[in-house]
Structure 1
């Protein structure tokens, strides 16, 4: 692989007229890329888009800026195009990877302690609303669902025995997402003690308001903000805060990017790397 990188660097030095700084940055980027592939037992001929995405994620965990990640990918794409053009490779698999968009603000995520504090807040209310809200927050964090997906969730699409939901995301794409025991217990309690009293209209929706209507995305967002404040969390949050936290905590535990992508219903792996942070475990 080093010989091919040397060929490429010689090409860009002579043909593309890159500045010395850019040339050296490409050289460092590609040396790290080839070292990463060697550790995985891969060569340029059998590398897959997931390998490149995993490399970018590893770079991101080293606190590399978005601009650096964009340059990393630009160097890799240029290398692969060169290798295809000169017959060293048959196809350019980097065409399947989108470049990170510069200037995109990373979403705020909660650490484990903050999530625990948030999930505990509804239990302090000791009423029907607290039991409903506890089930909502537990399910949001346990599955990484979008708030809009949870708002549209019907009772028929949740299986408490198997602990899975059938979630309909963007583009009407359906995915199966598992959840844990804590979320299951909170939902069972809500279904047994709260929902029958709220269901005045024989609704199909799982989460209902006091008037028996579907919990709208806006109402869930207002509820989330209220519990964030009550838990003493000072971070800037969004309707997707628990979704982002869910994804980040899974990646921090070394769950594969592909698994996280499938659970989130996220279409672009490179964007996933750009979007979600991996906070320190210290």
Structure 2
């Protein structure tokens, strides 16, 4: 199945032009499915099989396994979406006789936007990393300030490279979803924070001079989305914010506060990288309620 997964990822790269972060998620999710299928075949036959085939029984067991692991609904939905796309690809390319994708039922996920933080809550959150006076604290300060200043998605934030920061032009280059690139302006206050981080903390955290990632973890490697989420939630807990605070919540707060400040809907749409203005209207509705 490994070769089939590689073929599928190549198809997504060349034909669908999926972003690197989406490809990484699909790769991880499908290899989890592959590992589960192989474990079931080994349990049944006593031997592992690289060429393990998928069937309705294995897929039903995989769904039970996902539920038992107590993943969030959104995580399960993503894994199911990856598996369904993979199964359809196998059918279309003749690797499977019958399309098994209907065997997988995706859970309903409430896609309503999270509650925006108040401006005072955002200020407290942004101030917290600076109290540590450590390399990680300076990194976290730069990350949170940049996130609230740009409204980047978590995947876009951790995907940034040093070269994506245009210090002279005061802009951030973001590849975005499905390779929709955009330039986001940032003010000199944020530029200064980033310059200090890149010259100081980042240079101390990075172990390999060839590392391109803007934000790195304690091992000097690119920070993951999960790591980024834990960092934000950790600071939210420290200042006593009761609701779950995620990168998406800060992105939402950015949009709502921009609209409250008088930025028009189309401009916010461009900043957020939405393909359709209808997607951005949810923030307008939240701004009206707040």
TM-score for both structures, normalised by structure 2: 0.59
The answer to whether the 8 A contact 2:125-2:236 is kept is yes
- Paired position in structure 2 for 1:222: 230
- Paired position in structure 1 for 2:287: 278
1:258 aligns with 2:266: yes
CA distance in 1 between partners of 2:226 and 2:168 (Å): 30
Q: CA RMSD in A?
A: 1.8
- Paired position in structure 1 for 2:190: 183
- The structure with more radius of gyration: 1
CA distance in 2 between partners of 1:269 and 1:141 (Å): 20
- Paired position in structure 1 for 2:276: 268
Give the CA deviation at 1:198: 1.8
The answer to whether the 8 A contact 1:138-1:182 is kept is no
Q: Deviations over 1:104-156 (max 9, x none)?
A: 53311111100100000001101111101000000000000001101110111
> Which moved further from structure 2: 209-218 or 236-245?
236-245
Larger relative contact order (C-alpha < 8 A, sep ≥ 6)?
Answer: 1
3-state SS of paired residue (1:153): coil
User: What are the ranges of 5 or more consecutive residues in structure 1 without an aligned counterpart?
Assistant: 1-102
Q: Deviations over 1:39-94 (max 9, x none)?
A: xxxxxxxxxxxxxxxxxxxxxxxxxxxxxxxxxxxxxxxxxxxxxxxxxxxxxxxx
Give the CA deviation at 1:233: 1.4
1:160 aligns with 2:178: no
User: What are the ranges of 5 or more consecutive residues in structure 2 without an aligned counterpart?
Assistant: 1-109
The answer to whether the 8 A contact 1:108-1:236 is kept is no
After the TM superposition, list the runs of 4 or more consecutive aligned residues in structure 1 that deviate by more than 2 angstroms. 103-106, 235-239
CA distance in 2 between partners of 1:266 and 1:259 (Å): 10
CA distance in 1 between partners of 2:141 and 2:226 (Å): 17
TM-score for both structures, normalised by structure 1: 0.61
- Paired position in structure 2 for 1:139: 146
CA distance in 1 between partners of 2:127 and 2:172 (Å): 23
Give the CA deviation at 1:235: 2.3
CA distance in 2 between partners of 1:200 and 1:105 (Å): 41
3-state SS of paired residue (1:240): helix
Q: 1:189 to 1:266 in 2, by over 3 A?
A: same
Give the CA deviation at 1:265: 0.2
